[in-house]
Amino acid sequence: MIQNFQGMARKLTAKLRAEGISNPAVLAVIESTPRHLFMPESLAHKAYENTALPIGQGQTISQPLMVASMTQLLMQHDCHKVLEIGTGSGYQTAILAQLVDQVFSVERIAELQYQAKRRLKKLDLHNVAMRHGDGWQGWKTKGPFDGIIVTAAASEIPPALLQQLTDGGVMVIPVGTTSQRLIVVRRFGDEFEQKELGQVKFVPLVPGATV
């Protein structure tokens, strides 16, 4: 296991800065978070490369640039209470937990959620609530949310998630099947403004939940 990750993390952060990540808080948190703890030990040597990696159960830990980009988009708005759809490894969750007051994270695969919970506890991040459930439905009883971040591609924007945004809230979500695009949604009363930001590649947002 990697003991001294700081040097590799600094190089990764420099790459992200060169790719257009400019929020100093986002960069600082990515540099200080041990990404190698969020993946199988056999892949830890690749942890600070700017690439997505498999974490089992057919899921991946997102490319650092995508994590930073989606987080930076949220941080452009006044987000204190954030819903994350797709806990996965818990890496994106950990980044958010260091930047906002509360994170509520939904994961459909129980084993991934269990592992993520252990990692966050190890990092002493205690402002995260987790739920095993269907990401398409969000977490209505904990809403509304200032920000929603979806880490898997939906075939369409889930209506339940739109309704869980506060007025003025923002959602960052990849949408599409064979061709995916990153969309930012802002809520203004009963109106939703969408902005498309380009092509992306994520695992699909699957309805339901597994044991």
pTM beyond 0.85: the answer is yes
6-200 topology per CATH: Rossmann fold (3.40.50)
The residue type of 17 is: R
Per-residue pLDDT, 78: 86
- Tell me the average pLDDT across 152-163: 96
Tell me the pLDDT tens digit for each residue of 24-76: 999 999 999 999 999 998 998 899 999 999 998 888 999 999 999 999 999 99
Tell me the pLDDT tens digit for each residue of 73-118: 999 998 999 999 999 999 999 999 999 999 999 999 999 999 999 9
CA gap 89, 143 in Å, rounded = 23
CA gap 148, 104 in Å, rounded = 9
Q: Which of 32, 42, 62, 69 is catalytic?
A: 62
Does the pLDDT at position 173 exceed 90?
Answer: yes
The residue type of 202 is: F
Active site residue 62: yes
Terminal Cα-to-Cα distance of the chain (whole angstroms)? 29
The total of other beta-carbon atoms located within 10 Å of residue 120's CB is 23
